[in-house]
Structure 1
């Protein structure tokens, strides 16, 4: 690791750890200067890579996820003093499980717990033949709902007045069709 914070993700992780003692840090309040891109990527399966190697420590991934920010179609790791760009292949998170009941509460691969509703909608993308479900997690960051969880959602979906299959959570209906 170098002394240059742009090429040293450990420095970013240290700031994230200090800032996230009580949940997610207030990245919406941080507007530091852009310091460049780093060789970090979140792949379609939700695996985080640094310089071509997977980041194997779940704690480190959770720290980086806590300082992830989306601006338009670009993704950044943000601290109070710097902002560095990273690549995201699809959605930065994966919804890996759901508690089904009157409300649907999802768990992501980075430990976020999110209840679907008006502030956290379920959104269908893709085609009728290949639907891809997503969940809004926070601040424009999405989680793709994994296949096993989507199948569980489909089992509890009910038809609406037009025959479309929908889910209900948080006082909101979500169609299960693109």
Structure 2
């Protein structure tokens, strides 16, 4: 990614303002936006889901939600996008954390930024890592994943059943998700 941008809109306040304007009409259609790349912003999402701007945690949850609403992934790179600009940010692991789940005939997750996601064909549960150190993830939207936190994963594991092949996993949205790497 390129260097830091000098564009006046390419700062946290400008991006938040653009996100707020776009979100008044529902979720911003970031998948339709392809503005020019304006450089990197000193913003990072740490592995624990904490968002940092210029080395300082962003303490306002609403601001984090606004930034999350304009987050886009292209390949392995992450960007905050508005209709007129795209700035690169760093993501250490996954941009979101699944912090809770309602487990029934379907599994509905809640993320740290307030998204609700029903696991199913378009929102997979995927186990990465090893048998000794499994790392469970949930596909949230358009290539953006949430790490499923430990307490929620333990609840999922407790609700797991075996399929015809004897694999332990979960059913949701007509899809079986194995809980084995």
TM-score (norm 2): 0.95
Matched with 2:3 is none
Q: 2: distance between equivalents of 1:161 and 1:119?
A: 23
- Write the deviation string for residues 22-44 of structure 1: whole angstroms up to 9, x where unpaired: 43101111110000001000000
Matched with 2:94 is 91
Matched with 1:171 is 174
Q: 2: distance between equivalents of 1:151 and 1:21?
A: 37
Q: 2: distance between equivalents of 1:162 and 1:29?
A: 41
Question: Is 1:60 paired with 2:63?
Answer: yes
Question: Is 1:20 paired with 2:23?
Answer: yes
- What is the CA-CA distance between 1:3 and the residue it aligns to? 6.7
Q: 2: distance between equivalents of 1:93 and 1:167?
A: 21
- SS where residue 60 of structure 1 aligns? helix
Matched with 1:157 is 160
Check conservation: 2:119, 2:173, Cα contact below 8 A. yes
- SS where residue 13 of structure 1 aligns? helix
Unaligned runs of 5+ in 2: 1-5
Aligned pair partner of 1:102 in 105, 112, 130: 105
Aligned pair partner of 2:40 in 37, 40, 65: 37
Q: 1: distance between equivalents of 2:135 and 2:81?
A: 28
Matched with 1:5 is 9
Q: 1: distance between equivalents of 2:108 and 2:26?
A: 18
**CA RMSD of superposed structures (Å):** 1.0
TM-score (norm 1): 0.96
Q: 2: distance between equivalents of 1:154 and 1:148?
A: 10
